[in-house]
Structure 1
Amino acid sequence: MTKVKENAAIQLSAATSTSFDQINTFAHEYDRGGNLTINGKPSYSVDQAANFILRDDAAWADRDGNGTINLTYTFLTAKPAGFNNALGTFSAFNAQQKAQAVLSMQSWADVAKVSFTQAASGGDGHMTFGNYSDGSNGGSAFAYLPSGGRTDGQSWYLISDSYRQNVSPDNGNYGRQTLTHEIGHTLGLSHPGDYNAGDGNPTYKDATYAEDTRGYSVMSYWSESNTDQNFVKGGAPSYSSAPLLDDIAAVQQLYGANLSTRATDTVYGFNSTAGRDFYSATSASSKVVFSVWDGGGKDTLDFSGFTQNQKINLNAASFSDVGGMVGNVSIAKGVVVENAIGGSGNDLLIGNAAANDLKGGAGNDIIYGGGGADSLTGGAGADIFVFGASSDSNRAAQDTIRDFVSGQDKIDVSAISTLSALQFVNAFSGHAGEAILNYNQSSNLGSLAIDFTGQGAGDFLVGTVGQAFATDIVV
């Protein structure tokens, strides 16, 4: 490898950079728990929220001791004994309701050690589904927590002349969200607050903690807008069809995590291999609201088909702004997603401690790999590769920028040190702030090494495909 002689003894002064500030701001956008107060309410951590959702201590017992709660279910065809006539007229589920209920049950089985089998009886418990016609109690559906009574497992859905949303549940609509919500009750999850549709006129003001919204829990009544999220696109709202961040933590606390789900390499978003409708995007107009649960493998968030500016965070228990919505994609606690692909907008990508493959796509992107030996690709546009600590890229775990274009792209190390300048040299002499740029023309491979501590060796090292010059470095 040949050194870049023309850069020797060049001094590069500090420049104003906001790129790391943008990374840092978004990385902490959804901080929660501790002593935080949000909207005048205490902020709950994921575990605190899960505990509160489980405050009624309701759960099915594993009768056969096989480690999984095996539930059976029936779609009622006639009014059952003990039917409350105040509910009006009974009706059976239509074909679409049945199909969508199966998908909602599947979404719960994906994340926890529970299974659902259609049968007249049996298992560790039995669930039933039916419709009613009188909505005078103020609700659009209701279900019973498992408590050892005859109503365990029952869930009921309003269909009337004035309320039709339960007739045609589908991915992303309120009817599907309602199915997933009510099945959550039959599993033992309560609302994140002490409210019910039939009890007065509750609002978000009645929430116990700040994160009691549909941005965090499918069990909540309250709009995600209360936590500065936005699931509206094309003038229409979207809803989660599956358990969200806090729901996943809660049901796993009850029954254990299903680690066999998507335990191999999985793609979420465009080109999805997840096998679930809510994890798939097919066009720039797609609306995605989901929380990733994944059992292992090398996984990818692929948002390449979106044209809007996006912010993607690969850290567990984090949120991303995807496809023109805000805070609509999260990653469940304990999940490692390795890779992310941005779209054609000006995207911001944040990696995690794993070895990430981050691709910005078209647009002027800001990419931060974090820890691990990351592969960073800006794509078309003027891209900024940001480093927040020398440990983000060093000899032990070196990042590589795959498509660096001098005069267009930047390497931003301004957050690593308070040094006012870098001195580009041919060899380290033990002075803090010395930097070496190497480049091999035959291989088109280069590197940037910086001695931030004066130890006479580079404690920061990043590789490049393409040549970087001193003027491409932001300090």
Structure 2
Amino acid sequence: MIWSLIKCNHNMGCGVYMRRKIQGDYFLKDQGYDNAVEWNTVDLGANSSVDAFEFDFLTSNSQVFARGGPVQTNIPGDVTTTATIGVNEQLIETIETGGDQDWFSITLVAGQTYDISSIGVGSNALPDPLLRIMDAAGEELATHDDILYGVVRSSLLTFTATTSGTYYISAQGWSDETGQYQLSVTENNDSTTDIAADTSTTAVAIVNGSVSGTIATGTDVDWFAVTLVAGQRYIISQDATGNDAEDAENPVGLDDAFLTLLDSTGAVIQTNDDSGPGNNARMSFVPTTTGTYYIAAGSAVSADGDYAVTIREVPTLAERTIDEVAHFLTDEFDTREAYGANEITYNITGLSEGAQALAIRALTAWADVSALTFTAVTTGGMIVFSNTEDGAFNGNTTTNGVIQSSTLNVETTWNGGNLNVDSYTYQTFLHEIGHALGLGHGGPYNAEATYDIDNIYLNDSWAYTVMSYFDQNESGYFGDFRFVLAPQISDIVAIQDLYGANTTTRSGDTVYGFNSTEAATVGDVFGSVYNFDNFTRAPSLSIYDTGGIDTLDFSGYSQKQKIDLRPESFSDVNGFTGVISIARGVIIENAIGGSGIDTIIGNDASNVLTGNGGNDILDGGEGIDYAVFSGASINEYTITENSDGSFTVAHNNNGADGTDTLTNIEFVRIGGVDTALGAEPFTTLSEGNDRHTGNDDDNRLDGLGGNDVIYAAGGNDVVRGGDGADRLFGDDGLDELSGDAGADYLYGGRGNDTLRGGAGGDFLYGGLGDDAMYGGAGGDVFIIFENAGTDTIFDFENGIDIIRILNGAISYSDLTVTQEGNAVHIVSSYGTIILDNFDLANVDASDFDFVGTEGRPVMVASFGDVFVGAGNEISIDIQSHIWSDLAVELGGLDTPNLFEYTLEEASLDASWFDYM
């Protein structure tokens, strides 16, 4: 079927004028790059014309084609074809089966030279078009495959007709390739007169096609006019051509192409010298206005020779998500592959001592974020390192997608022989080991690539993956060049997809940055990359951490900083944009700024934020958060509540802390004393073991230190346990309970509650309603009861935390466990549990504890102080979670003192208290 491409505005209705000689149905097709199609039909009489077909485009990247009858289902590959193409025409067709040829008849004039081009287009583009031209008898006269052998696979056949009459053009794919192509025929611009070098040029370039030219003298420049559409992205290239163009690095033809793009007045928009393969030129361009542009082809070294100019429509680039980048690394660059086991041996005897240290450090970095373990051997090995060949590369031997072995070479003079950890050499080891483990590049490139041409998404950058070819400055993500010192945010997702996650890395209280708790490991000659005292400027890495109360300490920097504690966020540190990221699912509780004007953004945990010097902006986010100041007394500060609910805290007499703005911060900590902010201040208890009952108002209660028991009662309450082993009960309302440090028991009661365990091994029981639960550091138990609604666990730690399902005659086999985006959904007759930012592959029966009807939750301050109990003597309906029900069960008391009432008659023992 023959499709003629119609040019028109892509973002609105399209007016089309066409004339055909044959009566019948004619069609308009709106085809997006995803091959979605919308049809419009009109019946035309012979020699009639029609204009203004009006319809909306499917996508902003759609193309519009017109087709006329009679329709051929397949174009013959010989002289019987009735398919035609005219000079200065283009059409779109498809090679449906391997070995298929589409022949088109064309009338050519003796002595005239023509450019015939074929280029793959659309999402099903023909990878390697091949062109042939035949005489009227079907005898081959000329053929052409690649403009630049093996690199620029479009075909451009420049042909001079020796006689006037009928010829045939054969469009096909190399070997058995199939796909869609655009065929174009134009009169050669340079065959009779030299092409003008200004806006008077009559030479024309074509979109989704190629034209040829010759630079006759070194100073010659050829200008081509072309119409480009606003919002459409184009790749424009100039490549040397010649009979021996099979050598991509040294083709016969124009040496060192130099390409210039100009607007309709001849003003330069952009230039390019060597962004193409070899020393050819290539650029990307998205016009802001539709109209005429000029492409000037020349040589950067005043050479002469033949060339081709190709313009290709390509989809507009967009950002990819962290998961989409990771998926490209594992499944899109090449066929998915990985080792069949997580225990991998390696051999570094082929490296120098300094390079061995870098290889070990890089292997350790990958092991930190994955379930892989690496063991050194001196003979053999699954990954064998060497330095005997030029360059840096890796090669894997695979069987059915399972890696059997890998060889990895980094030459001794790589990066000038630099063997420091803060170097491109170390980053190269990280990159090549990524290949050895099954990761591909960040985009469809190899050996060399140019940003905005070879990348297929905007954030193809070292900031997202060490497997990218593009540094942060080149890609604009985030604009500051910095070597990568650990797997980045998408690398971590990708390697965990292949091998699972490391659940023990830095599980204690860790300080990253200055005053770091991280020391060099045994045999590590470099020191920790997480100790910023080891660097003159902040490194680029993603923080991966599995537990504890952790801190980002960037106090050693004076530049303006943005410190973001939210998982999957990027921070600007030490004057470098986006160099530090937080890996998925990682909870960092605290942050310390420097002496500049810092912006610190908290996460959903209870954060302690220290701005230090400068007029800082602190936003605690969700949770009960603290802002820390250096003064000895609150009297040194002026605290003002602003109309938007934020607070301004000014250090009097030009004090060191400056004037900070606090949003979503509940407490200021000055001189070690916490003072509540807000129109409804916290009711603070003592540092001892408090017992407190709230009322039906919206209570804000702070237990401070000690082992506290706090019952908030009705209302939308905010309760903070503080230090110690606390018992917090929300009851009715939308409650927010934070255990803070210590092994705490949190019970939400009715309503959609938020429970945060904090440090320590906590028990979190949402009760009725759709609850949000954060265990924090330590091994936490999340308790689920029947008819409890949909509960979401935001930081479930695989192999550390437990989900306890109470009073249920069910087992693991009764659960339906599915992956829904970034979350795992666990559905049963009891309701739904959502594990946010979790992988289905990490869920198994060991994550659950099923407690039968003989074990109901017991909430206690100490043994004997029972709020809800069960046993042979006392039967209480705890599903209702109504405290007055308990009073009835205990003898009809109207207002029992729940913290002193003792069930002397209950035959309970300490084993009951493990459930809650």
Shorter-chain TM range is 0.5 to 0.7
Match of 1:58 in 2: 337
Are 2:387 and 1:131 aligned?
A: yes
Match of 1:96 in 2: 354
What amino acid does structure 2 have at the position aligned with 1:52? F
Matches within 5 A, 1:364-383: 364-379=615-630
SS of corresponding position for 1:73: strand
Give the CA deviation at 1:456. Answer: 9.3
Match of 2:566 in 1: 315
Please give the alpha-carbon distance, in whole angstroms, between the structure 1 residues aligned to 2:638 and 2:382: 55
Match of 2:608 in 1: 357
Match of 2:464 in 1: 216
Match of 2:432 in 1: 182
Give the CA deviation at 1:227. Answer: 3.1
Distance 1:321 1:450, change over 3 A: same
Report if the CA contact (8 A) 2:382-2:404 is conserved: no
Report if the CA contact (8 A) 2:639-2:650 is conserved: no
Please give the alpha-carbon distance, in whole angstroms, between the structure 1 residues aligned to 2:404 and 2:638: 58
Give the CA deviation at 1:362. Answer: 1.0
Q: Pick from 413, 418, 422 the counterpart of residue 172 of structure 1.
A: 422
Give the CA deviation at 1:249. Answer: 0.6
Please give the alpha-carbon distance, in whole angstroms, between the structure 2 residues aligned to 1:143 and 1:321: 33
Match of 1:337 in 2: 588
Distance 1:404 1:93, change over 3 A: same
Are 2:492 and 1:248 aligned?
A: yes
Please give the alpha-carbon distance, in whole angstroms, between the structure 1 residues aligned to 2:387 and 2:403: 18
Deviations 1:428-459 (A, max 9, x none): xxxxxxxxxxxxxxx895643169xxx99798
Q: Pick from 239, 245, 253 the counterpart of residue 483 of structure 2.
A: 239
Q: Pick from 101, 116, 126 the counterpart of residue 374 of structure 2.
A: 116
Report if the CA contact (8 A) 2:641-2:678 is conserved: no
Give the CA deviation at 1:214. Answer: 0.7
What amino acid does structure 2 have at the position aligned with 1:291? S
What amino acid does structure 2 have at the position aligned with 1:261? T
Give the CA deviation at 1:120. Answer: 4.0
Please give the alpha-carbon distance, in whole angstroms, between the structure 2 residues aligned to 1:222 and 1:406: 48
Distance 1:240 1:266, change over 3 A: same
Alignment RMSD (CA, Å): 3.9
Give the CA deviation at 1:304. Answer: 0.7
Please give the alpha-carbon distance, in whole angstroms, between the structure 1 residues aligned to 2:437 and 2:719: 49
Deviations 1:336-394 (A, max 9, x none): 1111000111111000000001000111111110111111125589999999998xx9x
Deviations 1:2-26 (A, max 9, x none): xxxxxxxxxxxxxxxxxxxxxxxxx
Please give the alpha-carbon distance, in whole angstroms, between the structure 1 residues aligned to 2:518 and 2:465: 21
Please give the alpha-carbon distance, in whole angstroms, between the structure 1 residues aligned to 2:421 and 2:534: 15
Distance 1:71 1:283, change over 3 A: closer
Distance 1:49 1:118, change over 3 A: same
Give the CA deviation at 1:272. Answer: 1.5
User: Which structure has more strand as a fraction of its residues?
Assistant: 2
Deviates more, 1:267-276 or 1:150-159: 150-159
Distance 1:375 1:216, change over 3 A: same
Distance 1:213 1:133, change over 3 A: same
Are 2:433 and 1:154 aligned?
A: no
Please give the alpha-carbon distance, in whole angstroms, between the structure 1 residues aligned to 2:718 and 2:679: 4
Report if the CA contact (8 A) 1:365-1:378 is conserved: no
Report if the CA contact (8 A) 2:392-2:414 is conserved: no
Give the CA deviation at 1:150. Answer: 9.1
Percent of pairs identical after alignment? 36
Report if the CA contact (8 A) 2:463-2:579 is conserved: yes
Q: Pick from 337, 344, 359 the counterpart of residue 71 of structure 1.
A: 344
Report if the CA contact (8 A) 1:267-1:299 is conserved: yes
Report if the CA contact (8 A) 1:366-1:386 is conserved: no
Report if the CA contact (8 A) 1:172-1:287 is conserved: no
Match of 1:15 in 2: none
Report if the CA contact (8 A) 2:553-2:592 is conserved: yes
Q: Pick from 494, 501, 514 the counterpart of residue 270 of structure 1.
A: 514
Give the CA deviation at 1:296. Answer: 0.8
Match of 1:48 in 2: 324
Distance 1:460 1:360, change over 3 A: farther
Report if the CA contact (8 A) 1:356-1:373 is conserved: yes
Match of 1:88 in 2: none
What amino acid does structure 2 have at the position aligned with 1:130? S
Give the CA deviation at 1:320. Answer: 0.2
Give the CA deviation at 1:101. Answer: 0.6
Higher-RCO chain (CA-CA 8 Å, sequence separation at least 6):
1
What amino acid does structure 2 have at the position aligned with 1:117? T
Match of 1:260 in 2: 504
Gaps of at least 5 residues in structure 1 are 1-34, 63-68, 77-91, 135-139, 233-237, 394-399, 417-442, 464-475
Q: Pick from 436, 440, 443 the counterpart of residue 193 of structure 1.
A: 443
Distance 1:346 1:146, change over 3 A: farther
TM-score by length of 2: 0.35
Distance 1:118 1:299, change over 3 A: same
Give the CA deviation at 1:104. Answer: 0.4
Distance 1:168 1:446, change over 3 A: closer
Deviations 1:100-140 (A, max 9, x none): 11000000000001011111468xx7110001343xxxxx3
Distance 1:132 1:349, change over 3 A: same
Match of 1:206 in 2: 454
Please give the alpha-carbon distance, in whole angstroms, between the structure 2 residues aligned to 1:271 and 1:367: 21
Please give the alpha-carbon distance, in whole angstroms, between the structure 2 residues aligned to 1:119 and 1:385: 65
How many equivalent residue pairs? 351
Deviations 1:66-116 (A, max 9, x none): xxx01111124xxxxxxxxxxxxxxx4111100111000000000001011
Match of 2:365 in 1: 107
SS of corresponding position for 1:326: strand
Please give the alpha-carbon distance, in whole angstroms, between the structure 2 residues aligned to 1:314 and 1:346: 17
Please give the alpha-carbon distance, in whole angstroms, between the structure 1 residues aligned to 2:530 and 2:478: 19
Deviations 1:220-251 (A, max 9, x none): 0102121342444xxxxx31121000101100
Gaps of at least 5 residues in structure 2 are 1-59, 61-230, 234-285, 287-315, 521-527, 666-672, 682-695, 700-715, 721-916
Report if the CA contact (8 A) 2:465-2:487 is conserved: yes
Please give the alpha-carbon distance, in whole angstroms, between the structure 2 residues aligned to 1:363 and 1:229: 24
SS of corresponding position for 2:387: strand
What amino acid does structure 1 have at the position aligned with 2:679? A
Match of 2:135 in 1: none
Distance 1:75 1:341, change over 3 A: same
Please give the alpha-carbon distance, in whole angstroms, between the structure 2 residues aligned to 1:244 and 1:385: 41
Please give the alpha-carbon distance, in whole angstroms, between the structure 1 residues aligned to 2:578 and 2:454: 23
Report if the CA contact (8 A) 1:384-1:411 is conserved: no
Report if the CA contact (8 A) 2:543-2:581 is conserved: yes
Give the CA deviation at 1:282. Answer: 1.2
Larger Rg: 2
Please give the alpha-carbon distance, in whole angstroms, between the structure 1 residues aligned to 2:644 and 2:507: 32
Distance 1:386 1:74, change over 3 A: farther
Distance 1:227 1:202, change over 3 A: closer
